Amino acid sequence: MIWRKNTNFAPTVQQFISYPSKVKDDQLQILLKANPSPLKLLQYFLDETMVEEIIHESAQYSETIRTSYPNSFKNFKPFEKEEFWAFIGLNLLMGVVKKPTLKSYWSTNSILTTPVFNETMSRHRFEQILRSLHMADNRFPSKNDRFWKFGKFYPKIIEKFQNALNPGKFLSVDETLVGFKGRLSFKQYIPSKRCRFGAKFFVLVDHDTKFVVKLLAYQGKNTKYAIQPAELGSGGAAAFSLINEFFGRNHVLVTDSWFSSPNFAAKLLENNTYLLGTVTKRRKNMPKMYGKLKKGEVETFCTDQILVERYIQFIRKQV
């Protein structure tokens, strides 16, 4: 929900309180005035309807597997809300207390032990919940949507984000990687990212609050762009798909060179939206640039709508 390299849910409340005029949902306004805990704020976005649907789909999946394979999920009891939140809490804690294997979190060895795991639930029960966890019915897959296993959860959580906040003037777009090393048909490898392997998302973020306004899941050829990539390139099509719902409000979209181009800037201007960012000189309709610049020189190219500046970026080396 909050765009941070080092995930820390605690500052989330302060981010909202600092910009009260941006909070759009009345229910969230009331919640923030009560100074909620991080859990209460998480439960606002991951509401009871979503949790009940996950519990229902998980119970249905475990029963289907048990019918086909009687020894699977033997003596399994479907989990309820309280146990679900305990499971989520332990997963979040695993990101803070890092150990080499799942089994080691329940170790009673004096060097490895973290008592809260054994006190919350047994390892066997945790693995049962982990194995049964489902968000959609496996009997009805979608050939055109690689994220169909998220069921209704994915669109609902995005809708929650959009209804919570009125974004400010400046919006940023970038790509992020949700780490995953298992089998996944659309798994990406991006060496510059910390986790390197995982599912890629394009993210639209409000500059002031660092709040995620919208997500677009990358699915290769099945990615649901709002415009054909041939027109603006893959990066431009992704950014256009994220910002198109906010056209006509004089937003400024901040991007890096992978997303921006003169064609994309012109497309945004047609919809009263502006572009600020870096761009490579190889992009289509970029002005011709010859020779090398000297230190301190700036070369400017412009039309009646678009301004491009060329300069040398110096990176100070730290000794």
Question: What is the distance between the alpha carbons of residues 86 and 131, in angstroms, rounded to a whole number?
Answer: 16
Cα-flanking dihedrals φ and ψ of residue 212, to 5°? -75, 115
Do 302 and 262 share a structural domain? Answer: yes
Average pLDDT of the residues in 224-238:
89
Flag whether pLDDT at 115 surpasses 90.
Answer: yes
Do 299 and 199 share a structural domain? Answer: yes
Residue 26 lies in a domain: no
Q: Is 177 exposed, middle or buried (0-12, 13-18, 19+ CB in 10 A)?
A: buried
Do 240 and 103 share a structural domain? Answer: no
Average pLDDT of the residues in 292-299:
84
Residue 300 lies in a domain: yes
Do 291 and 164 share a structural domain? Answer: yes
Average pLDDT of the residues in 75-99:
92
Percentage of the chain exceeding pLDDT 70:
92
Average pLDDT of the residues in 97-125:
93
Lowest mean pLDDT segment, chosen from 178-187, 217-226, 254-263, 297-306: 178-187
Are residues 183 and 199 in contact, defined by beta-carbon separation less than 8 angstroms? Answer: no
Global pTM? 0.81
What is the domain extent for residue 74? 46-132
Do 116 and 214 share a structural domain? Answer: no
Query: What is the total count of domains within the chain?
Result: 2
